[in-house]
């Protein structure tokens, strides 16, 4: 993530709206990206509009330096900056289906920490399906390169001072309901085939270098 600051902008999808079919159809991507994600960007900018001293903070700083925020906007910043961060990364770490397996050092780490890709997939799936209500399931790395699966509720992010997010799956109903109705499992199973493993690998390499 580049250190962008206010006013935050909607990042265009790095692929066409029909690129993720049939797992995610065009309508789902338009509604999710153009409306839901955009709303978090707009709301975050609105929240920060009257706080010039906060406008110099990056997205990561807004999410990690809560004590620097005026008390009255902390909850709104947490929810909307989280929504911006999570959605930008979610859309960026998917691609048209093709390569289905992890690569490089990340592939090695998955074997080391989970025994086998299939075990990792099972645990990631359980995290996504087991997240009660709206939220996210994450694969993150700590600074030593240990991989951890996490869940967060709503638009919360993992502790970015401890972890580098590598992958995440949005399990808010808005991510899948148009297409899958209540079948979250079918959506999550499809998501595994959209993972942009090269980008996840790049993020992992950065995580262990820093
Ligand atoms: Mn979403």
| Cβ–Cβ < 8 Å for 136, 170 | yes
Instruction: Report if residue 2 sits inside a domain.
Output: no
- Contact by Cβ (8 Å): 87, 59: no
Would 160 be classed as within a structural domain?
yes
- In a domain, residue 183? The reply is yes
Residues 79 and 123 occupy one common structural domain: no
Q: How far is CA 70 from the centre of its chain?
A: 26
Residue 176's pLDDT is what? Answer: 97
**114 & 173 share domain:** yes
**Quick one: pLDDT at residue 152?**
98
Cα-based angle 63, 128, 77 (whole degrees, multiple of 5): 20
Q: What is the mean pLDDT of residues 48-60?
A: 97
Ligand 1 center–CA 153 separation, angstroms: 12
User: Ligand 1 centre from 18 Cα, in Å?
Assistant: 18
Boundary-marking domain end, from 69, 92, 115: 92
CA of 70 to the centre of ligand 1 (A): 26
Q: Are residues 80 and 165 in the same domain?
A: no
In angstroms, how far is the first alpha carbon of the chain from the final one? 14
- In a domain, residue 81? The reply is yes
pLDDT band of residue 1 (cuts 50, 70, 90) is very low
- How many domains does one find in the chain? 2
Q: Which domain holds residue 32?
A: 26-92
| Digit-coded pLDDT (tens) for 97-108 | 777 789 999 999
**pLDDT single digits (tens) 141-195:** 999 999 999 999 999 999 999 999 999 999 999 999 999 999 999 999 999 999 9
Residue 108 lies in a domain: yes
Q: 83 CA distance to ligand 1 centroid (A)?
A: 8
Whole-number Å distance, alpha carbon 112 to ligand 1 midpoint, is: 31
In a domain, 10, yes or no: no
What pLDDT, on the 0 to 100 scale, is given for residue 76?
A: 98
Distance 174 CA to ligand 1 centre (A): 6
Residue 115 CA, ligand 1 centroid: distance in Å = 31
- Measured in Å, residue 170 CA sits from the centre of ligand 1 at 6
- Domain of residue 125, CATH code: 3.55.40.20
Q: Are 154 and 134 in contact (CB under 8 A)?
A: yes
What's this model's pTM, rounded to 2 decimal places?
0.96
Region of residue 94 (phi > 0: left; psi between -120 and 50: alpha; otherwise: beta): beta
The SS3 of residue 103 is coil
The arithmetic mean of pLDDT across residues 120-137, rounded, is 98
Q: Residue 200 — left, alpha, or beta (φ > 0 → left; ψ -120 to 50 → alpha)?
A: alpha
Whether residue 50 is found in the same domain as residue 116: no
Give the Å distance between the CA of 173 and the centre of ligand 1: 8
């Amino acid at each position: 993530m580049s250190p962008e600051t206010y006013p935050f902008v909607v990042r265009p999808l790095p692929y066409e709206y029909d690129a993720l079919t049939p797992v995610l159809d065009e309508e789902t991507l338009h509604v999710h990206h153009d409306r839901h994600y955009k709303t978090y960007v707009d709301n975050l900018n609105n929240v920060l509009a009257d706080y010039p001293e906060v406008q110099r903070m990056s997205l990561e700083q807004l999410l990690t330096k809560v004590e620097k925020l005026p008390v009255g906007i902390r909850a709104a910043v947490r929810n909307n900056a989280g929504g911006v961060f999570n959605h930008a990364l979610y859309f960026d770490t998917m691609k048209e289906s093709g390569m289905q397996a992890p690569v490089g050092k990340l592939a090695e780490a998955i074997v080391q920490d989970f025994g086998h890709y299939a075990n990792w997939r099972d645990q990631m799936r359980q995290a996504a399906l087991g997240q009660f209500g709206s939220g996210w399931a994450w694969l993150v790395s700590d600074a030593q390169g240990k991989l951890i699966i996490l869940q967060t509720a709503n638009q919360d992010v993992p502790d970015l001072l401890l972890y580098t997010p590598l992958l995440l799956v949005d399990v808010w109903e808005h991510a899948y309901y148009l297409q899958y109705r209540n079948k979250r499992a079918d959506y999550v199973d499809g998501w595994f085939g959209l993972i942009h493993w090269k980008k996840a690998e790049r993020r992992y390499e950065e995580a262990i270098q820093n």
